[in-house]
Amino acid sequence: MQWAEAGYPIYLLGRDTDELQRISTDLELRCGVKVWHKQFDSNEHTGHAALVREIADQAGAIEGFLIALGYMGDQSTSETDVAECEKVLGTNFVDVAVLCHACASHLESLETGWIAVLSSVAGDRGRMSNYVYGSAKGGLSVFLQGLRSRLQKSGVHVLTVKPGPVDTSMTFGMSKLPLLCPPEKVASDIVRAVAKRKDVLYTPGPWRLIMFILRSVPERLFKKTSL
């Protein structure tokens, strides 16, 4: 929304075409920018390079990619249900990684642009209550560190976004989430971080210190917590 308000044309990808149509119309009316959309299921790993070329052909030069793709799943189900475990690990890590590579190849050839990817504070330390989702996000954060290193030579910027709990459909109905944050705050932090070419964004900011403290707790103590 904030990039559309600033006058940037937008290309949306997602599974729900009715929702994509609704958001596109809303953005075009409110912000007066061109918005394209296309159905996309991240579980399909072929055709990403062609998709990126198609976006560039339709929309013109691509400034950057925002990847806000994820599936929290259910920790206790993942512990016994192989399909659920694979879905959580696959969607949050494999799907995002292969998509990043398609975006990276395109921007690398242009020697400009940015890729901002939603990881999570959950990836900073394995906790008994959500280590399946957390480990996929942790793997993703490491993947993004390496990608950032690879792309810095070509001037392409990679931003890892680590939000704490955000008030979205992913957290709907969950009780007692600490420091639950509105998505608009996360969005404005991302827009600022992209402009400043930050490497890693904790949002809201206090999560940087909270996760520093949590990462510092010795394993022999941490494993006894019920976090």
Ligand X SMILES: NC(=O)c1ccc[n+]([C@@H]2O[C@H](COP(=O)([O-])OP(=O)(O)OC[C@H]3O[C@@H](n4cnc5c(N)ncnc54)[C@H](OP(=O)(O)O)[C@@H]3O)[C@@H](O)[C@H]2O)c1
State the residues that interact with ligand X by CB under 6 A. 14-16, 40-43, 68-71, 91, 118, 120, 163, 165-166, 168-171
Q: Phi first, then psi: what are they for 30, rounded to 5°? A: -75, -35
> Which CB, 68 or 214, lies closer to ligand X?
68
Q: Phi first, then psi: what are they for 57, rounded to 5°? A: -65, -40
Q: Which contacts qualify for 49-55: CB closer than 8 Å, 24 or more apart? A: 49/102, 49/105, 49/106, 51/13, 51/102, 52/102, 52/103, 52/105, 52/106, 53/106, 55/11
Tokens at 149, concatenated: 């290193």
> Which CB, 169 or 226, lies closer to ligand X?
169
* 133 is a catalytic site residue: yes
Q: 71, 131, 133, 202: which one is catalytic?
A: 133
Q: How far apart are the first and last CA of the chain?
A: 34
> Which CB, 14 or 126, lies closer to ligand X?
14
Closest contact distance (angstroms) between CB of 154 and ligand X is 25
- Residue nearest ligand X, Cβ-based: 70
Closest contact distance (angstroms) between CB of 15 and ligand X is 4
Tokens at 107, concatenated: 């921007």
Strand-pair partners of 166: 181
Residue 181 has a CB neighbour count (10 Å cut-off) of 19
Closest contact distance (angstroms) between CB of 97 and ligand X is 13
Closest contact distance (angstroms) between CB of 124 and ligand X is 11
Q: Which are the catalytic amino acids?
A: 133
